[in-house]
Amino acid sequence: MALSDLNNIEIDLATAHRWPRGVRLLLAGMGTAVVLVLAGLFLLRPAWSDLTAAEAREEKLLERYADRRALAADLPRHRQRMEAIRDLYRDLLERLPRGSEMARLLTRISEAGRSAGLRFERFEPLPEVPDEFYAEAPVRLRLSGTFTEFGHFVQALVELPRVVTIGDVTIETNEEGEGVTIEMTARTYRYRGGEEET
């Protein structure tokens, strides 16, 4: 049988039961394969998409788990750091004067300047600037003396038991040329926790 003879073959499904057994099995196998492939495409494709999405979600969850596990492993160290921060916070709050201590602190600043040998030309407490849990109490100062005396004054401020910062500093030499006149703003901070609003 030549290839051109295949065009002359007529396939009659009504007589398929008479076809040779090998041809019938081959056609049945091919039909089954086509049905299985189509069923696989239509039935397994959504399941395959779900599997791919689940694998991606699993990967993300494993990453989150690893991150959280690392955090949990460091938990004792983080707790120690938090306790150290709380202690520091309490210490800093203790260094902020309460409302009744402000007058005494201003007196100490004045005494520190006098004991350093400076002359006060101006000592002007300015209005408080409130913040969330503290109030800034600025004092505008104009002092005359030497650089050494000013250094002793700053050292005395540093040694005060309360927080005092210095800013807005301008320095001019005196007309005599022997000393300096210093203008600055000293700021102290008052704790406002549970305060009576002033």
What spatial distance separates the first Cα and last Cα of the chain, rounded to whole Å? 115
Q: Which residue has the tokens 């689940």?
A: 54
The pLDDT score that the predictor gives to residue 198 is 42
Class of domain 98-191: alpha beta
The pLDDT score that the predictor gives to residue 45 is 80
* Domain boundaries defined on the chain: 98-191
Q: Are 182 and 169 in contact, with CB atoms under 8 Å apart?
A: yes
- 120: closest CA among 80, 150, 81? 150
pTM as predicted: 0.50
Q: Where are the alpha helices (DSSP H) in 99-141?
A: 102-115
Q: What is the pLDDT of residues 96-152, one digit of tens each?
A: 666 667 778 788 888 988 999 999 899 888 898 888 878 888 989 999 998 899 899
CA atoms of 194 and 97, how far apart (whole Å): 13
The pLDDT score that the predictor gives to residue 197 is 44
Partners of residue 188 on adjacent β-strands: 137, 164
What SS3 string covers 3-56?
HHHHHHCCCCHHHHHHCCHHHHHHHHHHHHHHHHHHHHHHHHHHHHHHHHHHHH
The pLDDT score that the predictor gives to residue 6 is 52
Q: Which residues of the chain have pLDDT under 50?
A: 196-198
Q: Provide φ and ψ at 96, rounded to 5°.
A: -90, 125
> Which DSSP state fits 176?
T
CA atoms of 2 and 164, how far apart (whole Å): 110
